[in-house]
Amino acid sequence: MTDDCQVTRRTALGALGALGVVAAGGFVMGTPATARAQVLGLNESVQDTMKRLFGDRPIRDGEALVKVDFPPIAENGSVVPISVTVDSPMTPASYVKNIYIVADKNRIPFVTRVTLAPEAGRAFMGANIRLGETGDLRAIVEQSDGTLLAVKREVKVTVGGCGG
Amino acid sequence: MADSDKVRLRLPSTIKSGDIVQVRALVLHPMERVERDAQGRIIQKNYNYVNKVIVTYLGKTILTFDTSQGVAENPFFSFTFRATAPGPLKVEFLDTTGGRFERTADIKFS
Amino acid sequence: MSRRPARRAARWAALVALCAACAGPTANAPDTASVPVWTSRATPEARGEFQVQPDGKRMAVRYRGWSTRDFNFRTYAYDDKRPEPAVQTVTMPAGVTGNPRLGHALFLSRAKGPCTGCHLIPGDDVWPAGNVGPDQSTIGDRKLTDQYLYQVIWDPRVFFPNTSMPPWGTVGVLSPEEVVHLVAYLQTLKGPVPPEKDPDRSPFTRRKPAGFGDNLDPTNNPAMLLADSAEARWTAKGPAGKACADCHEGGAASALKGVATRYPKFVKGYRRVMSIEDFLTVHGPETTGRPLLAESNDNLNLSMLIRRASNGMPMSVDTESLEARAAIARGKATFGRRVGERNHACADCHTVERGANKFLGGRLLADVTTGLTRHFPLWRTDRSEVWDMRKRFQWCMTPLGMNMLAADSVEYAELELYLATFDNGKPLSVPGIRH
């Protein structure tokens, strides 16, 4: 019980700290409204990130529909190319609304959220991301009907050595 | 005029009406990482990183990326669009300091 | 006893001594007499210089974030006549009880080897171990004596004169107590080894790195944009009122097409081998008036612009002229020269007889005969910067434990020329992209 309280307090402080950082940037510097969008990336545990983003909504296994191209070994944690493709008709009646990328061992587990319209044609995203250390990388897909699907893979991050 | 020298777009050389076209976009950007002090506390400052990518096709936003500092320095972003008509495809990168970087590709059918 | 046999013996002894001196390490040393003394035209942090601190200690002036330690071991400098550290034969100290747990920690410690850089051991958390050296997972079964293991770790050259393994004790990386703990740990490593759950854990079965994709795609390689930015430099007037384009008509891509295939080369006017980057350091000031210091952004970006003008064309550095032959001989000697605290030569990692195509920790070591220069300068993803060949050489100095030379030093240029001979016939592709 005490442990839970301590974790919550630490997380809350961490969240406040990070919010303070981004909020200062957003309001003081006068960024355009679109860039001041909801702060998604907070310094917290991955469990807290998942809870914050998805609450208690059920997340189903996405292996059948979600194809992730995550490298099994990343040569360094600074630049890790990834892509995700979801089997979806991408019509107004049924399309992928969001693809979330979450890295379990990153201090800010939220990496990116891609928000799509049917005009995208394919539920696909690619990017270069950072990974703090070896750990799981997740893709969480939100369908237009609200269904959540998830897939995860372990990515080993090579730590540089003698050769750099 | 938003800084387009720092942006590159890559599209296929031939596009036919109805194609689902894959686009790659790269922006030169420091994507500042969170710094910590000797006690491990986050140093409070306005970190400069791209936190929004907006893709607009024929005037309509078709796709956005919300990003954290977990995206790499000089990031590339890849996505698709359905080529329904010739016209502009604009990719805009917004950062936390008010920086804006954009480039527009003129979609033509062959 | 008759005096004649004694005198003959003395004469023989003198003759043998003389021959031994001739046959010694200096006898086949390449002739460096013709190499000019070169004043570096590199940026301050790229010159290999030192600052003396108030306490009298020397601190190296280096790139931001690089070690500033003053290494006290021999370098690639042609006038560095220091020998390799002398081989030490030692006895394992009595009175120190080996602690396998401490030994295990030492084996993995990045402040030491780490030993896992070259040697595999069991453990799910062992990531990433290399296979330049033999797998140690069952060394305890070999029932080697503690003394033998102690000597091998302290200075393996006693048993293996040409080994790639550093003499850890001789050079002071490991203390006697630490080696005792390592020996105790190694003696606990006995079979059977548990079946490998993850083939990537073991360097013997690990997947090769996938690389970073198309190096010439500007949406993949940021260095392409930096090279593009040098186009503006090409046509802009320098302090002397001239632009590159004034003499080299048209853009770099057309004006200098084919030029990079012949570099590095011996430049008569300067009596030394020069890469494109070296040449820019002298050519810039004497034409446009721009300094173009080695390792400056201007120099690197222009070098990428000039070298990519020859993309797709086969490298063809001169290997025939007298000057080229002499320089290549010196570069080859440098390639095989043991240097630094680790007492390594380039050859230890980059020849197939030794480390090439094996993993050093998590890094796959490249084979020099495949040609390793034609994609330089390249984008280093984990440093977010452009590296030319010289910065790559300078970086190696930290793990090898030796002081770096100036980026535009003749020693580096001739080493680069030797390496470039293996690129001959193969197409340039600049800028490259690597981790």
Distance CA B98, CA C11 (A): 87
- In a shared domain, residues C362 and C393: yes
Specify the pLDDT at position C13: 54
- CB atoms B66 and A113 under 8 Å: yes
Burial class (CB in 10 A: 0-12, 13-18, 19+), A147: middle
Chain B residues close to A38, C-beta within 8 Å: 66
Chosen domain end from C155, C187, C219: C187
- In a shared domain, residues C274 and C410: yes
- Decide: C181 and C98 in contact? Cβ < 8 Å: yes
| Alpha-carbon distances, residue C346 vs A32, C264, C336, C386 (angstroms) | 53, 19, 6, 22
Residue C80 lies in a domain: no
Other Cβ atoms less than 10 A from the Cβ of A133: the count is 14
- In a shared domain, residues C67 and C134: no
Question: Which candidate in C212, C217, C224, C225 is best for mutational testing of the B interface (most B CBs within 10 A)?
Answer: C225
Partners of chain C (3+ Cβ pairs below 8 A): A, B
Place of tokens 């690619």: A126
Chosen domain end from C154, C187, C220: C187
pTM: 0.89
Residue C412 lies in a domain: yes
- In a shared domain, residues C279 and C393: yes
- CB atoms A75 and C435 under 8 Å: yes
Q: What distance in Å separates residue C405's CA from the closest CA in chain B?
A: 30
Long-range contacts formed by B6-14: CB under 8 A, 24+ apart: B6/B101, B6/C225, B7/B91, B7/B93, B7/B101, B7/B102, B7/B103, B8/B103, B8/C218, B8/C219, B8/C224, B8/C225, B9/B89, B9/B91, B9/B103, B9/B105, B9/C219, B10/C217, B10/C218, B10/C219, B11/B89, B11/B105, B11/B107, B14/B110
* DSSP H/E element including A101: strand A96-103
Q: What distance in Å separates residue C228's CA from the closest CA in chain B?
A: 9
ipTM of the complex: 0.94
Specify the pLDDT at position B40: 84
* Chain A contacts in chain C segment 296-335 (CB below 8 A): none
The enclosing domain of C181 has a CATH number of 1.10.760.10
Q: What distance in Å separates residue C125's CA from the closest CA in chain B?
A: 24
Say if A76 is an interface residue toward chain B (CB within 8 Å): no
Specify the pLDDT at position B53: 98
Tell me what the mean pLDDT of segment B78-105 comes to. Answer: 97
Q: For residues A3 and C422, which has the higher predicted lDDT (pLDDT)?
A: C422
- For residue C120, give its domain range: 100-187
Residue C161 lies in a domain: yes
Distance CA C413, CA C278 (A): 8
Structure tokens at C337: 């020269």
- Decide: A112 and B66 in contact? Cβ < 8 Å: yes
In 3-state terms, what secondary structure has residue C238? coil
Chain B residues close to A125, C-beta within 8 Å: 65, 77-79
- Decide: C91 and C322 in contact? Cβ < 8 Å: no
- CB atoms A158 and C212 under 8 Å: no
Kindly give the pairing relationship between strand C265-267 and strand C58-60. Answer: unpaired
Specify the pLDDT at position B26: 97
Residue C305 lies in a domain: yes
Kindly give the pairing relationship between strand C432-434 and strand A110-116. Answer: unpaired
Structure tokens at C153: 């770790």
Chain A residues close to B52, C-beta within 8 Å: 34-35, 37
> Per mean pLDDT, which range of A8-17, B43-52, B100-109, C10-19 is the poorest?
A8-17
* DSSP H/E element including A149: strand A148-157
Question: What are the per-10-residue average pLDDT scores of chain C (435 residues)?
Answer: 56 52 52 92 97 93 93 96 97 96 96 94 94 98 98 98 97 98 98 94 95 96 96 93 93 95 98 98 96 97 98 98 98 97 97 97 96 98 96 93 97 98 98 96
pLDDT band at A116 (very low <50, low <70, confident <90, very high): very high
- In a shared domain, residues C232 and C292: yes
Specify the pLDDT at position B1: 45
- CB atoms A163 and C365 under 8 Å: yes
User: Cis peptide before C192, with omega less than 30 degrees from 0?
Assistant: yes
In 3-state terms, what secondary structure has residue A105? coil
In 3-state terms, what secondary structure has residue C400? helix
Residue C347 lies in a domain: yes
- In a shared domain, residues C293 and C164: no
**Chain CA centroid to CA A129, Å:** 10
pLDDT at A27 over 50: no
- In a shared domain, residues C238 and C172: no
Chain A residues close to B41, C-beta within 8 Å: 17
- CB atoms C225 and B26 under 8 Å: yes
- In a shared domain, residues C264 and C300: yes
Nearest to C189 by CA among C98, C105, C104: C104
Residue C9 lies in a domain: no
Chain C residues close to A134, C-beta within 8 Å: 127
Partners of chain A (3+ Cβ pairs below 8 A): B, C
- In a shared domain, residues C257 and C398: yes
* Chain C contacts in chain A segment 54-93 (CB below 8 A): 71-73, 75-79, 81
- CB atoms A78 and C381 under 8 Å: yes
Residue C3 lies in a domain: no
The number of folded domains in chain C is 2
- CB atoms A117 and B60 under 8 Å: yes
Specify the pLDDT at position C3: 53
- Domains in chain B with CATH codes: 7-31+48-107 (2.60.40.10)
- In a shared domain, residues C265 and C407: yes
Chosen domain end from C125, C153, C187: C187
- In a shared domain, residues C172 and C319: no
Question: Which candidate in C382, C383, C434 is best for mutational testing of the A interface (most A CBs within 10 A)?
Answer: C382
- CB atoms B52 and A127 under 8 Å: no
Distance CA B105, CA C250 (A): 27
Cα nearest neighbour of A110 on chain B: B68
- CB atoms B10 and C217 under 8 Å: yes
Residue C37 lies in a domain: no
- In a shared domain, residues C257 and C375: yes
Say if A108 is an interface residue toward chain B (CB within 8 Å): yes
User: Cis peptide before C114, with omega less than 30 degrees from 0?
Assistant: yes
Q: What distance in Å separates residue B88's CA from the closest CA in chain A?
A: 14
